[in-house]
Chain A
Amino acid sequence: AALQGALRLQVSAALKEGQVTPTELCQRCLSLIKSTKFLNAYITVAEEAALKQAEESEKRHRKGQPLGVLDGIPVAVKDNFNTAGIETTCASNMLKGYISPYNATVVQKLLDQGALLLGKTNLDEFAMGSGSTDGVFGPVRNPWSYSRQYKGKSVPKSHSEDEESNWVITGGSSGGSAAAVSSFTCFAALGSDTGGSTRNPAAHCGVVGLKPTYGLISRHGLIPLVNSMDVPGILTRCVDDAAIVLGSLAGHDPKDSTTIQDNFKPFELPNLTDVSKLSIGIPKEYHAPGLSSEILALWSKAADLFKNAGAKVIEVSLPHTCYSIVCYHVLCTAEVASNMARFDGLEYGHRSDMNRSTESMYAATRREGFNDVVRGRILSGNFFLLKQNYENYFIKAQKVRRLIANDFVKVFGSGVDILLTPTTLSDAVPYMEFIKEDNRTRSAQDDILTQAANMAGLPAITVPTALSKRGLPVGLQFIGHSFQEKQLLTVAKWFEKQVKFPIIQLEEVMRHDHNVFQHQKSASFS
């Protein structure tokens, strides 16, 4: 069975029928990880543990008792989820070498289903950033940088630049997870999404990125960035796979008081054929400054696709969208300042050698442990939380947040089922260009299309749509009603089927697996 293009169900079926064993699957992924090391997608690879899990899975399959569809399936987890016995660093000096004593709830759920945990993926330090470039282990490289599609289109520069420096970013902050899924080293990966951190890299890496409704999936064990906006994100190669993973993760967790109590029923996605009853909203404010003409055209084309298929496509307005960046900035930095207070070097993580006094030890530890992005946000956040500023900044921002959320309530209340928007302003930029601006500027620019969904707690998914002129992936985003993931994913799946996004042609993968094109189920069409 091929790694490429294979849908989970197919692989599961293959495992079930013994066409391939979990151990073989695991070994292939591990060896692919090794040969794609230059992507820097993984911080830690848990080879021994994964092979052991594969062995257990094999036993179960031989007995004809797989735990479920995920049994034996290799997955990767972003390095800000706690994993027992495996290092969790958040790509920060502060947690280098930190080994958690417990698994995050979502990690435990995956393991309980028999999934094989291959390793922890790279990210921006503490998930702050939109490029996966600011972690302490270095930037993640977009696999598409090495694809035939991109290399074929890249124009040789006047001053000699070798292939090395032309690589493009993955987007962030869950860049490692996106790259891992995109380069076939795993079938699904967990990311986190606070302002777009799962959807942004998913779009840039040509994979599906799902941000579930806030409160649907437990955050217990996810090292928090912004408690009121964080959600675990799901990255897969197709929408059906995302639905499967969602089904195994969603549901109330007594350890997370922000998860809803209602019973969650995992669902199978129907194959939608008739979209005439759908109402698709196109929010005009998402025609944001800086949106590339290419993506604008693609967005338009997608709207037409729905229209031509019989759906009702209307322009809608989310008037407070323009305030979301500053609002997000205030609330995000305030919560960050609070959440980072626990890193004082006393109980775990890095501790400075400075020991003149407790205060000086705190200061030195935090200066040494955090990069300047983190430190900058902590300072801002503390400023906004000062007694004299609280009313003017924090409370104001909360009010604006409510207005932004109400924009969606109004639009969804008027009969719109799904919103269709771009996910990113452009395709992935080359690393050398990206780092010319600082993290704060980049985040402010790149988050504009994704962060409102976090403010309102709504589910959103990015689906790979087409390749850009430069041969890089572009995704489009669907935003749905609260807790209506089934409808959201059903529409996304229909769209996915229509656009037939091409499979990445990565030499490493092709070298790896000769059977690739023979088992390709989806015809590629760019």
Chain B
Amino acid sequence: VLNRRCVEAAVMTGLALNCIINKKSLFDRKHYFYADLPAGYQITQQRVPIAVNGSLSYSLCIDNKMSQMVTKTVRIKQIQLEQDSGKSLHDDTRSQTLVDLNRAGVGLMEVVMEPDMCCGEEAAAAVRELQLILQTLGSSQAVMAEGQLRVDANVSVHRPGEPYGVRTEVKNINSIRFLAKAVDYEIQRQIEELENGGTILNETRAFDSKLGCTVPMRDKEGKQDYRFMPEPNLPPLILYDARSLPANMNHQQVVNIDWIHERLPDLPSVKRAKLVEQYGILPEHSFALLNEDGLTEFFENVVKQTQMKPKKVIGWILNYLLSYLKQHSLTVKESPVSSFLLADLLNLLEKKEISSTAAKQVLAELWKGEGKTPLEIVKEKKLELIQDEKELEQICQAVIDGQENEVIVVVRG
């Protein structure tokens, strides 16, 4: 039985990726024997998938300093719905395989991209943007480490002007970082192989994250005939839009593409543009904000609670808050410094009650999460900026008095 939510997620994703949604799509059985495939076949959409011909725009920094971004596009070939298999855990020491069937049959959405990317960085950026889109739509939480988003890379090399070379498929990539590494390694490997007079086999390789290289996978040999057959238990999937929807159709029985379109949330690219416009921050900043879960909210909360200009707030967020969180492997949600506290601190700075150096000291203290307010810490450490000129003079004089020799050196020039 088809899962309605899966269909809706696929339509949402298709719309977000500018695809043509096929109002009629079909299901097929793909047959092969494997321990983690209990039915001996997988239900997929080989003949007519649910969405085709879309595009995904993503941004890259030209140099590594986040100061110049370019926009690239990768074409989306299709999106298809299919079933997941179970999970095989190979125990080579005991020559056995453990099979976990819990996820067998769960709905999957496969997004197939065209080979429009040219290096690991582009692949990583494209997948990262896809991940953000999926998370924004709610189609998937898309956490690679948890297997919610699985990426297989197809890599080939060719000389400019010549047709595309033989491709290999690289599997077992568990993070975006590894994706970039795996792609770059494979490109290099293929170039070396060809320059040494060898050939590239159309094979499947696994990425070994420990060694940072790809190795041939022993299971998959030769071309399989999957004996595709239409899935007889699932009638063709018919989707409607406002025009084609029959008048007396029960709303709960159908999926209406237009209805979904109207309810699409702002995609990351739109959100970023809005942030730049609303707060006057740089595009790179908006990328950084969206890149970290919860950071945009945090930023906006601080802005609301402080008089400091957003253009200045962003610096504190990205340079101090974010780097601290990264150092301690914390998520924004786990931050011991709340937006309220930070706003409080920035207000002191803005009112010139403390210097920016002092602010950094207070922040360091706030990280301890002892529940003290910025003001309390300032008082405790006597970090107040002295507004009284007379007092300042006295202090300076005291310093000068205490450093007679240095003063003479300075006065002399």
Given A334-B229, A338-B29, A341-B33: A258 and B40 interface contact (C-beta under 8 Å): no
Q: Find residues 353-400 in chain A having any chain B CB closer than 8 Å to their own CB.
A: 358-359, 362, 382, 385-387, 390, 394
Which A residue sits closest to B39, measured CB to CB? A342
Q: Which of A255, A257, A335, A347 has a CB less than 8 Å from the CB of B235?
A: A257
Q: Find residues 1-26 in chain B having any chain A CB closer than 8 Å to their own CB.
A: 1-2
> Which residues of B have CB within 8 Å of A447?
none
Query: B31 on the interface (CB 8 Å rule)?
Result: yes
B229 close to A258 (CB less than 8 A): no
Given A347-B101, A387-B225: A335 and B1 interface contact (C-beta under 8 Å): no
> Which residues of B have CB within 8 Å of A291?
none
In the complex, A474→B182 CA distance in Å?
72
A338 close to B253 (CB less than 8 A): no
Query: A227 on the interface (CB 8 Å rule)?
Result: yes
Give the most central of B29, B33, B232: most A CB within 10 Å. B232
> Which residues of B have CB within 8 Å of A314?
none
Q: Find residues 220-259 in chain A having any chain B CB closer than 8 Å to their own CB.
A: 226-228, 254-258
Query: B38 on the interface (CB 8 Å rule)?
Result: yes
B35 close to A385 (CB less than 8 A): no
B227 close to A347 (CB less than 8 A): no
Query: B41 on the interface (CB 8 Å rule)?
Result: yes
Query: B364 on the interface (CB 8 Å rule)?
Result: no
Query: A446 on the interface (CB 8 Å rule)?
Result: no
In the complex, A390→B230 CA distance in Å?
11
B1 close to A358 (CB less than 8 A): no
Proximity bits, B215-235, A CB within 8 Å = 1, else 0: 000000000010111001111
Given A346-B99, A385-B229: A338 and B1 interface contact (C-beta under 8 Å): no
Given A227-B233, A257-B1, A338-B229: A344 and B41 interface contact (C-beta under 8 Å): no
In the complex, A359→B35 CA distance in Å?
10
A254 close to B1 (CB less than 8 A): yes
Query: A524 on the interface (CB 8 Å rule)?
Result: no
Which A residue sits closest to B234, measured CB to CB? A257
A335 close to B232 (CB less than 8 A): yes
Query: A276 on the interface (CB 8 Å rule)?
Result: no
Proximity bits, B30-55, A CB within 8 Å = 1, else 0: 01010100111100000000000000
CB A336 to nearest CB in B, in angstroms, measures 11
Given A347-B101, A385-B31, A387-B225: A342 and B38 interface contact (C-beta under 8 Å): yes
A390 close to B228 (CB less than 8 A): yes
Query: A261 on the interface (CB 8 Å rule)?
Result: yes
A344 close to B229 (CB less than 8 A): no
In the complex, A482→B97 CA distance in Å?
50
> Which residues of B have CB within 8 Å of A344?
33, 38, 40
> Which residues of B have CB within 8 Å of A346?
35, 38, 99
> Which residues of B have CB within 8 Å of A390?
227-228
A227 close to B232 (CB less than 8 A): yes
Q: Find residues 221-251 in chain B having any chain A CB closer than 8 Å to their own CB.
A: 225, 227-229, 232-235
Which A residue sits closest to B101, measured CB to CB? A347
Give the most central of A257, A359, A362: most B CB within 10 Å. A257
Given A338-B41, A346-B99, A385-B229: A258 and B235 interface contact (C-beta under 8 Å): yes
A382 close to B227 (CB less than 8 A): yes
> Which residues of A have CB within 8 Å of B99?
346
CB B98 to nearest CB in A, in angstroms, measures 12
Which A residue sits closest to B104, measured CB to CB? A347
B233 close to A358 (CB less than 8 A): no
In the complex, A338→B32 CA distance in Å?
10
B233 close to A257 (CB less than 8 A): yes
CB B127 to nearest CB in A, in angstroms, measures 32
> Which residues of B have CB within 8 Å of A362?
33
In the complex, A362→B97 CA distance in Å?
15
Which B residue sits closest to A387, measured CB to CB? B225
> Which residues of A have CB within 8 Å of B40?
338, 340-344
In the complex, A342→B2 CA distance in Å?
20
In the complex, A334→B230 CA distance in Å?
11
> Which residues of A have CB within 8 Å of B39?
341-342
> Which residues of B have CB within 8 Å of A359?
33
B1 close to A255 (CB less than 8 A): yes
A358 close to B253 (CB less than 8 A): no
> Which residues of A have CB within 8 Å of B228?
385, 387, 390
> Which residues of A have CB within 8 Å of B33?
341, 344, 359, 362
B225 close to A341 (CB less than 8 A): no
Given A254-B1, A344-B40: A386 and B227 interface contact (C-beta under 8 Å): yes
Proximity bits, B139-157, A CB within 8 Å = 1, else 0: 0000000000000000000
Q: Find residues 310-353 in chain A having any chain B CB closer than 8 Å to their own CB.
A: 334-335, 337-338, 340-344, 346-347
In the complex, A228→B29 CA distance in Å?
14
Which B residue sits closest to A386, measured CB to CB? B225
In the complex, A338→B229 CA distance in Å?
8
Q: Which of B2, B38, B97, B229 has a CB less than 8 Å from the CB of A394?
A: B229
CB A190 to nearest CB in B, in angstroms, measures 20
B35 close to A358 (CB less than 8 A): yes
In the complex, A387→B31 CA distance in Å?
12
In the complex, A337→B232 CA distance in Å?
13
In the complex, A338→B99 CA distance in Å?
22
> Which residues of A have CB within 8 Å of B225?
386-387
In the complex, A358→B233 CA distance in Å?
29
Which B residue sits closest to A358, measured CB to CB? B35
In the complex, A340→B31 CA distance in Å?
11
> Which residues of B have CB within 8 Å of A340?
40
A258 close to B233 (CB less than 8 A): yes
CB B37 to nearest CB in A, in angstroms, measures 9
> Which residues of A have CB within 8 Å of B233?
227, 256-258
CB A174 to nearest CB in B, in angstroms, measures 21
Which A residue sits closest to B253, measured CB to CB? A261
Which B residue sits closest to A361, measured CB to CB? B35
CB B226 to nearest CB in A, in angstroms, measures 8
CB B34 to nearest CB in A, in angstroms, measures 8
CB B228 to nearest CB in A, in angstroms, measures 7
In the complex, A335→B227 CA distance in Å?
11
In the complex, A394→B229 CA distance in Å?
9
CB A413 to nearest CB in B, in angstroms, measures 24
Q: Which of B31, B232, B234, B235 has a CB less than 8 Å from the CB of A341?
A: B31
CB B409 to nearest CB in A, in angstroms, measures 85
> Which residues of A have CB within 8 Å of B2?
257
In the complex, A261→B99 CA distance in Å?
38
CB B122 to nearest CB in A, in angstroms, measures 34
In the complex, A109→B33 CA distance in Å?
35
> Which residues of B have CB within 8 Å of A255?
1
CB-based closest 6 A-B pairs: A341-B40, A227-B232, A385-B227, A228-B232, A342-B39, A342-B40
8 A-B pairs (CB sep. < 8 Å): A255-B1, A257-B2, A338-B229, A341-B39, A341-B41, A342-B38, A385-B228, A387-B228
| Given pairs A227-B233, A386-B225, 13 additional interface contacts (CB within 8 A) | A255-B1, A257-B234, A257-B235, A258-B233, A338-B40, A338-B227, A338-B229, A341-B41, A344-B38, A346-B35, A346-B99, A385-B229, A387-B225
- Chain B contact residues, CB within 8 Å of chain A: 1-2, 29, 31, 33, 35, 38-41, 97, 99, 101, 225, 227-229, 232-235, 253
